[in-house]
Amino acid sequence: MIDKTDHEIIREVIAGNISAYAMLLERYKNMVFTLAYNILQNKEDAEELSQDVFVKAFNALSSFKGESLFSTWLYRIVINTSINKKKLRKIQPVSTDSELTEDTYKDLDNLINQHEINDRKKIVQCAIRLLKEDERLCITLFYINELSISEINELTGISVSNIKILLYRGRKNLYAQLTILLKAEINNLI
């Protein structure tokens, strides 16, 4: 049952097996919720929006042609619905100044390994939250939702060059925030 592809499940749902939709729901609920939460920055709103997205997707399932992945189609609904709730800020191109060094990653790995899994989750999620809105959106879509740059461009309307800059800047800021948060956490423990 679990190994069924998205398209097989969709065919089943369209044929009248509504309960099969629960499989898609289980498969994508956390990704949809993470994306909604990273856009809206409010858990209650994100949960409500995610539920609406799944209901909307169910109602429009017959119009899903299968030209793109179901996940991409679903994320498009999340972004469009979120935009209705909150307008995305205009993206300003920025220069890429300082470079990330190999030592930064090593230091970070050491710091992360000193924490329990639950603490790590909290710290990473907090660091994501501290990113700027446009950086957070690109980082979430690219690394968590695993969309390509051209797909992000199609979904958000942000130009390819700006996406690349935002990803670079987002990565840099994420590492910076993580380092600050992890050091603060260690200091608190000491």
* Sequential DSSP letters for 99-152: PPPHHHHHHHHHHHHTS-HHHHHHHHHHHHHTS-HHHHHHHIIIIIS---HHHH
Q: Does 121 bind other proteins (CB under 8 A)?
A: yes
Strand (E) or helix (H) holding 72: helix 70-85
Among 4, 12, 47, 149, interactor with other proteins by CB under 8 A: 47
Cα 24 to chain center, whole Å?
17
Cβ neighbour number for residue 37 with a 10 Å cutoff: 22
Do residues 127 and 59 make contact, with C-beta atoms less than 8 angstroms apart? no
* Residue carrying the six token digits 């609904």: 77
- Give the nearer residue to other proteins in terms of CB position, either 72 or 168: 168
Q: Residue 104, exposed/middle/buried by CB under 10 A (0-12, 13-18, 19+)? A: middle
Residues 20-39 interacting with other proteins (rule: CB under 8 A) = 21-22, 25-26, 29-31, 33-34, 37
Q: Does 64 bind other proteins (CB under 8 A)?
A: no
User: What string marks each residue from 77 to 116 as x (binds other proteins by CB under 8 A) or -?
Assistant: --------xx-------------x----x------x----
In terms of phi and psi (left: phi > 0; alpha: psi -120 to 50; beta: otherwise), the region of 157 is left
Q: Does 171 bind other proteins (CB under 8 A)?
A: yes
- Give the nearer residue to other proteins in terms of CB position, either 67 or 97: 97
Window of 69-77, 140-148, 149-157, 179-187 that interacts with other proteins by CB under 8 A: 140-148
Window of 73-81, 137-145, 147-155, 180-188 that interacts with other proteins by CB under 8 A: 137-145
* Rounded-to-integer distance, Cα 74 and Cα 20, Å: 17
- Which parts of this chain interact with other proteins (CB under 8 A)? 18-19, 21-22, 25-26, 29-31, 33-34, 37, 40, 45-47, 50-51, 54-55, 58-59, 85-86, 100, 105, 112, 117, 120-121, 123-125, 128, 139-140, 143-144, 171, 174
